[in-house]
């Protein structure tokens, strides 16, 4: 284990409600972090100075008095003025959701609103500060867009002749009952999906919805970790374990009931280091 994560929990302004700040301090200590609690009535300058002196990895601000719009951004400003703009600042308390975009724009990394669990907070800080231990970077790009077609032969000319894109190859994935045509476009691809037998999911899709966009696939680094993380946040998967996809990739589909009916596929390309 590396060195302990150091957290400054601070109460900016005149608000005296520190139940949340105290509970969070204790919870983070129980998660093995070192927590410095400033006590009440701290000015943004005092908070920034303490953070620098104590060499903390992250600052947590708590306010229930409605002064967050003024005071949270000031803490970020004071940190920047002192060359410590790299210390991430997160916040919580009674904060209407409509204020959150404003605070994010002003450089607050994340807002935890009423009802958030200390567990989620500890996990967030852990990943924010110590990405080596539990990396979970967001998807880097759209891996491909899957389009259901009755016949690749008929559909292909739009892409190759009409758009002038390049066909990379055609492959049959027996497991899924599909034939797939890969068409490269910039960093990403179109995948034309043609069913190869009646039981193919693509055939079912064509029967009920007709031709059209079938799914969007996102490129992820660590598909297992991403599945676990999303499951913890209440998202259901069609594939709870990654399975073999086309091009030697690892894939998993998310259940469309969790995504507003958009079918998403997570996709991890085989990389050489992994071998």
Partner 1 sequence: MDEERKLEIERWKDKVNEIIERFPERKERFTTSSDIEVERVYGMEESTLPGEYPFTRGIQPTMYRSRFWTMRQYAGFGSAKETNKRFRYLLEQGQTGLSVAFDLPTQIGYDSDDPMAEGEVGKVGVAIDTLEDMEILFDHIPLDKVSTSMTINAPAAVLLCMYIAVGEKQGVPLEKLTGTIQNDILKEYIARGTYIFPPKPSMRLITNIFAFCHQYLPKFNTISISGYHIREAGSNAVQEVAFTIANGMSYVDAAIESGLNVDDFAPRLAFFFNAHNNFFEEIAKFRAARRIWAKIMKEHYKAKNPKSWKLRFHTQTGGSTLTAQQPDNNIVRVTLQALAAVLGGTQSLHTNSRDEALSLPTEESARIALRTQQIIAYESGVADTVDPLGGSYYVEALTDEIEAKVEKYLEHIQELGGAVQAIEAGYMQREIQQNAYEIQKQIERNEEIIVGLNQFTMEEDAEPELLKVDESLEKGQIASLKRVKEKRDNDLVEKRLRVLKEMAKDERENLIPYILDAVKAYASVGEICNVLREEFGEYTGV
Burial class of residue 111, CB neighbours in 10 A (0-12, 13-18, 19+): buried
Residue 178 interacting with partner 1 (CB under 8 A):
no
Quick one: which of 94, 128, 142, 230 contacts partner 1 (CB under 8 A)?
94
Choice between 13 and 195, CB closer to partner 1: 13
Quick one: which of 5, 18, 111, 218 contacts partner 1 (CB under 8 A)?
18
Residue 199 has a CB neighbour count (10 Å cut-off) of 9
CA separation for the pair 197, 272 (Å, rounded): 34
Choice between 41 and 140, CB closer to partner 1: 41
Beta bridge partners of 89: 59
Q: Which of 137, 36, 136 is nearest to 87 (CA)?
A: 36
Residue 7 interacting with partner 1 (CB under 8 A):
no
Number of residues that bind partner 1 (CB under 8 A): 31
> Smallest gap, in angstroms, from Cβ of residue 103 to partner 1?
13
Quick one: which of 115, 138, 164, 275 contacts partner 1 (CB under 8 A)?
115
CA separation for the pair 164, 202 (Å, rounded): 26
> Smallest gap, in angstroms, from Cβ of residue 132 to partner 1?
27
Choice between 89 and 223, CB closer to partner 1: 89
CA separation for the pair 226, 135 (Å, rounded): 10
Tokens of 200: 């193919």
Residues 22-81 that bind partner 1 (CB under 8 A): 22-23, 26-27, 39-41, 43, 65-67, 69-71
Residue 232 has a CB neighbour count (10 Å cut-off) of 11
> Smallest gap, in angstroms, from Cβ of residue 100 to partner 1?
11
Query: Strand 212-219 relative to strand 141-148: parallel, antiparallel, unpaired?
Result: antiparallel
Residue 158 interacting with partner 1 (CB under 8 A):
no
Residue 262 interacting with partner 1 (CB under 8 A):
no
Quick one: which of 4, 55, 104, 117 contacts partner 1 (CB under 8 A)?
117
H/E stretch holding 192: strand 188-195
H/E stretch holding 9: strand 6-10
Interacting residues toward partner 1 by CB under 8 A: 13-19, 22-23, 26-27, 39-41, 43, 65-67, 69-71, 94, 96-98, 113-115, 117-119
């Amino acid at each position: 284990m590396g060195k302990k994560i150091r957290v400054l929990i601070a109460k900016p302004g005149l608000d005296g409600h520190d139940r949340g700040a105290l509970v969070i301090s204790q919870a983070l200590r129980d998660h093995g972090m070192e927590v410095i609690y400033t006590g009440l009535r701290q000015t943004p300058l005092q908070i920034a100075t303490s953070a620098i002196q104590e060499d903390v990895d992250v600052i947590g601000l708590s306010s229930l008095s409605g002064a967050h719009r003024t005071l949270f951004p000031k803490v970020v400003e004071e940190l920047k003025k002192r060359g410590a703009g790299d210390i991430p600042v997160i916040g919580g308390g009674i904060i209407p959701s409509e204020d959150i975009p404003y605070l994010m724009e002003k450089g607050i990394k994340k807002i935890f609103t009423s009802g958030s669990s200390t567990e989620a907070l500890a996990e967030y800080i852990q990943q924010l500060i110590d990405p080596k231990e539990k990396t979970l970077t967001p998807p880097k790009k759209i891996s491909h867009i899957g389009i259901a077609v009755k016949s690749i032969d008929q559909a292909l000319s739009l892409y190759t002749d009409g758009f002038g894109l390049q066909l990379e190859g055609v492959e049959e994935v027996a497991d899924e009952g599909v034939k797939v045509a890969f068409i490269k476009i910039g960093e990403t691809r179109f995948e034309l999906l043609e069913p190869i037998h009646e039981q193919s999911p693509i055939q079912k899709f064509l029967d009920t919805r007709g031709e059209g966009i079938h799914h969007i696939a996102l490129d992820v680094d660590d598909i297992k970790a991403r599945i676990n993380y999303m499951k913890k946040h209440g998202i259901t998967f069609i594939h709870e374990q990654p399975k073999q996809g086309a091009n030697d990739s690892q894939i998993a589909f998310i259940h469309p009931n969790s995504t507003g009916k958009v079918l998403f596929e997570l996709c991890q390309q085989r990389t050489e280091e992994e071998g």
